[in-house]
Structure 1
Amino acid sequence: MEAITGLVIKGLRERFGYTQDTLSNYLGVKREMISFYENNERDVPLELLEQLSDLFGVELHVFFSATLEEAMTEVVFAFRKDAISEHDMAQLSSFGKIVKNYIKINRLYHGL
């Protein structure tokens, strides 16, 4: 994986106001793994990238952007909330998936 992937995960996590603990609980991994991913010390499994893609409301390719700034321009929405529950994160993930699909359909319809 490109070295930028970890930076994108960290940037998105911080933009949404999530802690590493919150993200690790949502993904079902140890907090240390989030740190490893963000520091590019471990490859992020595709399944986790897909979960993060839905949670953050971005396309999968964003994790492989050339720069962090480029990745951040792809963020459709960002909800910041303190003490967010795993249930709330699951709901936001579902919403993110809906938004992504709407954008895809809209692009197809308008030939973009």
Structure 2
Amino acid sequence: MSQQELAAYLNVTASCISHYENGERGVPTDSLERAASLFGISAYDFYEKNAANKTANTAFAFRAGELEPTDLDEIARFRTVVRNFISMKNKLKRYEGQERK
């Protein structure tokens, strides 16, 4: 994903993305949350100190080709649905496991 594509998705300029990447500016929380949603990770993963955990948490981050910002919005919403489904499925398994005991 290019800086321009990410910038368009976050509604900032490409130079702003460059400043974020170089540590010259802090990234606003709303931009972090929006980017995390796009990449299918938690916003907290951006703060992970342990390199191994960070790699594991972001290994499946979304890689976009030439997609429009509206496409990225749809992908981010879909990822949220999938994450919620997986969370519910895992909770149901734990609940069913507790009932068998």
**TM-score band, normalised by the shorter chain?**
0.7 to 0.9
Instruction: Determine which of 10, 29, 32 is the counterpart of 1:27.
Output: 10
Gaps spanning 5+ residues in structure 2: where? 96-101
Q: After superposition, give the CA deviation of every residue in 1:64-94 in whole Å (9 maximum; x if it has no partner).
A: 0114543231137444442111121111111
Find 1:91's aligned residue among 71, 74, 94.
74
The Cα shift of 1:101 comes to 2.2
Structure 1: runs of 5 or more not aligned: 1-17
**Which residue does the alignment assign to 2:48?**
65
- The answer to whether the 8 Å contact 1:20/1:35 transfers is yes
**Residue 106 (structure 1) shift:** 4.0
SS in 2 for 1:84: coil
- What residue in structure 2 maps to residue 41 of structure 1? 24
Q: Report which structure shows greater RCO (CA 8 Å, sep ≥6).
A: 1
Change (3 A) 1:47 1:81: closer
Amino acid at match of 2:7: S
TM-score, length of structure 1 as denominator length: 0.70
Residues 103 and 60 (structure 1 numbering): CA distance in 2 closer, same or farther, change over 3 Å? farther
